[in-house]
Amino acid sequence: MPHDLCRRSIVELDHNGSLCTLAGLNPAAPEHSVAVIFKKTFKGNYPLVPVWSDHLSTVTAIQGGKPLEESINDIYSSARKYQILQDALEDFPLTSDVILFDTPASLEPMGSVALAACTHVLAPIKPEYKDTGSFADLLDWYYEKVRELRLKPQPKLMGFAPSRVAVDKAVHRNILGIPKKGEVGLKVPEEDTLPYQIQQLDVRCFQPIRECDYYLWASGVGLPLQLYRPGCTFSQDFDPIIDCIVDLITKK
Ligand SMILES: Nc1ncnc2c1ncn2[C@@H]1O[C@H](COP(=O)(O)OP(=O)(O)OP(=O)(O)O)[C@@H](O)[C@H]1O
Ligand SMILES: [Mg+2]
């Protein structure tokens, strides 16, 4: 399927509401937000809004933000708790080819809610020493939750994507094992690099997503970089992730 025909929905499970900025939307009222899915009265009326509709007709979103604060009670008081979103999608399937659940960094409860509902997990990782151990923590959390929640089939780990990588910073190059421009060979043993350690655990580490101010300019006008600067070479950093998703939906 060509990328542009693929129907994509973003489900924002983060109460920070960044999607408003990133997609140029107004904050959603509770009855038009993802909070409705967590209500006992939910009957499949997903509050989908079109996004970037001046450019595309295939992307919709369900907004999170502040209304999610009240959802915590709805989740914990429901009989199947973390399975609440999984159950909603089973009872009332969304007609999208790809559904992207955006979770907050703190994984309780929304990470578990998303894990139970998803087929694959993709985790960004910052190339900083304080964050490099976090991939092991995320893997521990993933294996524990998959077991506790008896998820069958198990969601698969799609991989980690190092993000906001500045290749001119020695520390980022050392952590990620990127040779300095014009040089061959690494300054650190390969075993000490993050991609090596991730791959040792049989998990994929995608190529770095480079830091670039164009993302900030693009978010200032509520657009993704691909629409803000079509053909920008920085967007190509996402190609392996896109290819992986396209493979998953075309080889079903
Ligand atoms: N590769 C990049 N280069 C420069 N800026 C970036 C890049 N990736 C993300 N940003 C910017 O960093 C900010 C946070 O990025 P993002 O939303 O991906 O992270 P997050 O951890 O989910 O943050 P939030 O807590 O806001 O949800 C955004 O303003 C975004 O435009
Ligand atoms: Mg976010």
Tens of pLDDT, residues 63-86? 999 999 999 999 999 999 999 999
Q: Closest ligand 1 atom, CA of 22? A: 31
Q: Hey, whose CA ends up nearest to atom 3 of ligand 1?
A: 211
CATH number of the domain encompassing residue 233: 3.40.50.300
| Structure confidence at residue 5 (pLDDT) | 77
User: Ligand 1 — pocket residues by CB below 6 A?
Assistant: 14, 16, 18, 163-164, 209, 211-212, 215-216, 219
**Does any domain span residue 190?**
no
**Does any domain span residue 151?**
yes
Query: Do the Cβ atoms of 246 and 3 come closer than 8 Å?
Result: yes
**Does any domain span residue 128?**
yes
**Does any domain span residue 169?**
no
Instruction: Kindly report the backbone phi and psi dihedral angles of residue 251, in degrees, each rounded to the nearest multiple of 5, phi listed first.
Output: -100, 15
**Does any domain span residue 102?**
yes
| Structure confidence at residue 182 (pLDDT) | 85
| Structure confidence at residue 252 (pLDDT) | 62
Tell me the mean pLDDT in the region 207-212. 97
Query: Do the Cβ atoms of 35 and 70 come closer than 8 Å?
Result: yes
Residue of higher predicted confidence among 129 and 32: 32
Number of domains in the chain: 1
**Does any domain span residue 56?**
yes
**Does any domain span residue 83?**
yes
Query: Do the Cβ atoms of 15 and 106 come closer than 8 Å?
Result: no
Neighbouring C-alpha atoms within 13 Å toward the C-beta of 50: 7
Q: Closest ligand 1 atom, CA of 210? A: 1
Report the C-alpha gap between 124 and 249 in whole angstroms.
21
Residue 115: pLDDT band by 50, 70, 90 thresholds?
Answer: very high
Query: Do the Cβ atoms of 132 and 138 come closer than 8 Å?
Result: no
Domain that holds residue 20: 3-163+210-247
| Structure confidence at residue 181 (pLDDT) | 87
**Does any domain span residue 222?**
yes
> 3-25: string of b/e by CB count within 10 Å (b at 16+)?
eeebebbbbbbbbebebbebbeb
Instruction: Kindly report the backbone phi and psi dihedral angles of residue 9, in degrees, each rounded to the nearest multiple of 5, phi listed first.
Output: -125, 135
